Amino acid sequence: MLYDLRHSDLQVRWLVTLLLATLGTSYLFGAWMVGLYAGFSPRKVAETYGPAGEAMMAMQMPPDSTVVTERPVSMAEMGEEHHHVDRDLLIQDTHVHMPMYAVIAACLSVIALGLALPRWAGLSIIALLFAAPWLDFAGMWLTKLASPRFAIVTLAGGWAMALGYTIVAVLATYQMWWRKQ
């Protein structure tokens, strides 16, 4: 343990508590946003990050000759937001989100360093915190480039992120405010 959150100054514990509360709130809204734009099932995630169009499962490679499909559509459907992340947008998303995920994982890791935990547990929590964003984006890229089946990796990344945060938040809150010895 590099420092001891249990016996740290009240200001430090207050800072950590507010940071965890703020991150927790942003995670809840993050989950809400995932529900709105990508979904929580492998099929929904594959639709969002996989190849575009109706025949997305069948048409991952460009056809030999251009295929034209036409079907009626209502005004409401035209106005609907079909949130699909193509390659260019995924490049931008990866560029924008990976640094922020790294900062969040680093903040939670710094908190984990102050917890009374065996070394292996600390290492595991830190590994989990950093593995989550890697899994998240690896899943998105593999879904796009290799197979829609990799959508499950993105879901695993999302759940790993939630699990890592929950472990750190619960342990830190308990150790800072209840278990002083």
Residue 178 beta carbon to another protein: minimum distance, rounded to whole angstroms: 28
Q: How far apart are CA 107 and CA 112, in angstroms?
A: 9
Q: Which of 2, 10, 29, 79 is the binder for another protein (CB under 8 A)?
A: 79
CB-facing half-sphere around the CA of 55: CA atoms within 13 A: 10
For residues 55 and 123, which CB has a smaller minimum distance to another protein in the complex? 55
Q: Which residues of 142-158 are buried (b: 16+ CB within 10 A; e: fewer)?
A: bbbeeebebbbbbbbbb
Nearer CB in complex with another protein: 103/123: 103
Phi, psi of 31 (to 5 degrees): -65, -40
Q: Cβ closer to another protein: 107 or 121?
A: 107
Please identify, among the stretches 21-29, 62-70, 115-123, 148-156, the one whose residues bind another protein according to the rule CB under 8 A. 62-70
- Answer for which of 2, 9, 10, 62 binds another protein (CB under 8 A) is 62
Q: Does 9 bind another protein (CB under 8 A)?
A: no
Half-sphere exposure in the Cβ direction for 14 (13 Å, CA): 3
Q: CA 99, 105, 111 angle in degrees (round to 5)?
A: 140
Rounded Cα gap, residues 31 and 82, in angstroms: 18
Candidate list 2, 9, 74, 180; residue touching another protein; CB under 8 A? 74
Question: How many alpha carbons lie under 13 Å from residue 175 in its C-beta half-sphere?
Answer: 20
Q: Which of residues 81-110 bind another protein (CB under 8 A)?
A: 81, 84, 86-89, 92, 96, 99-100, 102-103, 106-107
Segment near another protein (CB under 8 A); pick from 6-14, 59-67, 130-138, 162-170: 59-67
Placement of tokens 């993050």 in the chain = 30
Residues in contact with another protein by CB under 8 A are 51-55, 59, 62-81, 84, 86-89, 92, 96, 99-100, 102-103, 106-107
